[in-house]
Chains A and B, each alone.
Chain A
């Protein structure tokens, strides 16, 4: 038997948890019953199409948005009760760049930011600014989207927070800077014990970095698991089938993508390989190929899965 996609982790040490988290904007349901579990030390990739609720979930974690129902816990703290303490421990890169200090120069803004974070590492901030080719005398209002993103990355990393929450951190960066940013992040994680919650559409970029994934669609968590498990149990099966094969609807919702022709099936199925292959053979199909998916392919499959067929 195959099982449905897992939505909970078996980890006792969690940096971020949410329980039955819901957010309603008038008639619009942004989040429903979200149970996010980000293990300590993990690099958790949160994926979902635009409007899936990723940014809302992230904003709830730093108390920028209050949930309609449910509870969030960040590093053991409720953000609604301890908003300042939570934010002191989070390096946040927002999706939208909201400055309010457009008249400030980059160097002055970094100084300003440093005063709010007692653990600010000035030497590290300078190194990061150099790596990101930031001009410290440039006015914030004149920065491009990519430059603004780089300033945010410096601000998020330089106080070495235990938790990084990054909403589309590479959005607006050119390919060279994207590479640089990921290199910096890899170095940072090697030097500083950090949990990362990362939301991005560019999943292939972070494949080498991420170790957990959560899939959010229409405000609901469709799947949540370690990436190893995803790579192991989400596979593409190509099998030859006899004419008039009766197994076209087997496995139910465990089939993430189902392409069936007259004499062949090309399915993406969630389940233990031996079990899936065994059941296919048992149903009269001849399995020709069983291959793991790349993170990009897996994400695409999970995001385009038709639910409740």
Chain B
């Protein structure tokens, strides 16, 4: 045993705060671009509302619908899929020598960095929803019409972008944390799934194809988690309906899988070390 008085490692809160600052610093240009995009969408919505206000179509006033739809969570999911490539840029598992010499464990570093990116993803989501809400209010002010022409949504559906973004972010982050070729893993998985589905359909295995398809479009599939609603197909019509239970269930399933995958790649050590 040594008689040397040991220094303590940093508190996790300090490390997390520093990682949040670091990710912000790295993503500041991307963030500004996103803000510009949000601003542009408001400007376009205002222009559309002004144009529609005085336009008459077939003897009636034209309607404009800028109401919120949880389907717009796809935008957040796309941002969530791209974000990890920025958060982990220049830091594939073969280039983490500096980080692995820091006084935190490897998995703490990985999870904290992922968390830091997630904080900014959630901030982007909040801002996105504020832009959506502002668009609704501005459109109503300009046109004098309530924005209720499209389908109406339950209050919980405003949460869908948060969970959709989180799930997408966790899966892509797992690829970025655990692999030197995260793009290949992400694109490869989607391609593999599509090819498998096509092959089963073409080769005449409809039951197996349906099972594989349910991973995406089933009651607890990816789609239910990403959009908060599912499609049912009867003999004639395709119907879309939202379901709180299905959304909660699919979010729990896919969220848990994403978290488990992320935990596994964070704890796993590369073979060479």
**Chain A interface (Cβ within 8 Å of chain B)?**
13-15, 25, 40, 59, 62, 64-66, 75-77, 83-85, 87-89, 92, 94, 96, 98-104, 108, 112, 115-119, 159, 161-162, 193
CB distance B108 to A85 under 8 Å? no
Contact assessment for B18 and A115 in the assembled complex, using a CB-CB cutoff below 8 Å = yes
| Chain A residue contacts of B3, Cβ below 8 A | 13, 40
A-B complex: 8 closest residue pairs judged by Cβ atoms: A98-B97, A88-B103, A88-B9, A76-B2, A115-B18, A100-B91, A87-B103, A84-B9
B56 / chain A contacts, CB cutoff of 8 Å: none
Contact A85 B101 (CB under 8 A): no
Q: A75-B6, A115-B14 are in contact. Are A92 and B272 (CB under 8 A)?
A: no
Task: Tell me whether chain A's interface is mostly helix, strand or loop, or mixed.
Answer: loop
Are A75 and B10 in contact (CB-based, < 8 A)? no
B236 interface residue, CB < 8 Å from A?
no
Residue of B22, B91, B102 most packed against chain A (CB within 10 A): B102
Contact A99 B98 (CB under 8 A): yes
Q: How far is the CB of A193 from chain B (nearest CB, A)?
A: 8
Given contact pairs A75-B6, A161-B7, A100 touches B98 in the complex (Cβ within 8 A): yes
User: Using a CB-CB cutoff of 8 Å, which residues 1-55 of chain B contact chain A?
Assistant: 1-10, 14-15, 17-18, 22, 25-26
- How many residue pairs bridge A and B at CB < 8 Å? 106
Contact assessment for B7 and A98 in the assembled complex, using a CB-CB cutoff below 8 Å: no
Residues of A contacting B97 with CB < 8 Å? 64, 94, 96, 98, 100
Question: B residues within 8 A CB of A116?
Answer: 10, 14-15, 18, 102-104
CA distance A159 to B272 in the complex (A): 30
Q: Which of A64, A66, A118 lies in contact with B7, CB distance below 8 A?
A: A118
Enumerate chain B interface residues (CB-CB to A < 8 A): 1-10, 14-15, 17-18, 22, 25-26, 90-91, 95-106, 108, 269, 272-273
- Nearest CB in chain A to that of B273: its residue: A65
Q: Which residues of B contact A83 (CB under 8 A)?
A: 105-106
Q: Which of A15, A87, A108 contacts B102 (CB 8 A)?
A: A87
Q: How distant is A79 from chain B, measured CB to nearest CB, in Å?
A: 11
User: Once the chains are docked, how many angstroms separate the CA of A25 from the CA of B100?
Assistant: 20
CA separation between A161 and B272, bound complex, in Å? 28
The answer to whether A85 touches B104, judged by C-beta atoms less than 8 angstroms apart, is: no
Chain A residues, CB < 8 A from B101: 62, 64, 87, 92, 94
* Minimum CB distance partner of A162 in chain B: B4
User: Would you give the shortest CB distance from B177 to chain A, in whole angstroms?
Assistant: 13
Whether A13 contacts B2 by the Cβ 8 Å rule is: yes
Of residues B1, B2, B9, B18, which shows the largest number of chain A Cβ atoms within 10 Å of its Cβ?
B2
Which residue of B17, B90, B101, B105 has the most chain A CB atoms within 10 A of its CB atom? B101
